[in-house]
Amino acid sequence: HVQLVESGGGSVQAGGSLRLSCAASEVTYRRYYMAWFRQAPGEEREGVATISRDGSTTYRISVKGRFTISQDNAKNTLYLQMNSLKPEDTAMYYCAAGRGDLFSTLTLRVADYNYWGQGTQVTVS
C-alpha cells in the first residue's frame, strides 16, 4: 500500500525557512523513487527536487542553491529544506512516488510519478 504523508508547511516571510517532511510507508520507500513537486493556484504542477537512494539529486533551476532535498532511510522519510524563501515559492507542495529504478531515476516530470500525497501549503509573503 502506497502511503505518503507531507508535513511542515506554513506561512513565512520572504527570506525565511521551512522544512517539509514526507513520511512514506516502508513498502513505498523501498519500492518507489520519490520527489517533491509544487503547484501554485492556476499553475501547472512542477517538479522541485528529487533524490536517488544513493544520494544523487536534481533540482529545479529556480530553487537550486536555496532548497535541499534529503532522505532518512531508517525513517522512510523524505525532506525538503527550503531557505531564502521567496513569494514565488508560494504553492501547495506534494510528495510523489514513482515506479522505476530507485538508484538511477532522477526525473522531475509529473508523468513519471504514480502516487501523490495530500500536499502541504507553503505561503511566503
Kindly report, residue by residue over 23-34, the tens digit of the pLDDT: 999 988 999 999
**Amino acid found at 123:** T
Region 48-77: mean pLDDT is: 96
| pLDDT (0 to 100) of residue 2 | 87
The percent of residues in the chain predicted with pLDDT above 90, rounded, is: 92
Q: Nearest CA to 51 among 93, 95, 7?
A: 95
User: Largest Cα–Cα distance of the chain, in whole Å?
Assistant: 38
Give Cα separations from 71 to 6, 42, 77, 92, 111 (angstroms): 13, 30, 6, 20, 22
| pLDDT (0 to 100) of residue 85 | 98
pLDDT in tens, 81-121: 999 999 999 999 999 999 999 898 899 999 999 999 999 99
pLDDT in tens, 4-45: 999 999 999 999 999 999 999 998 899 999 999 999 999 999
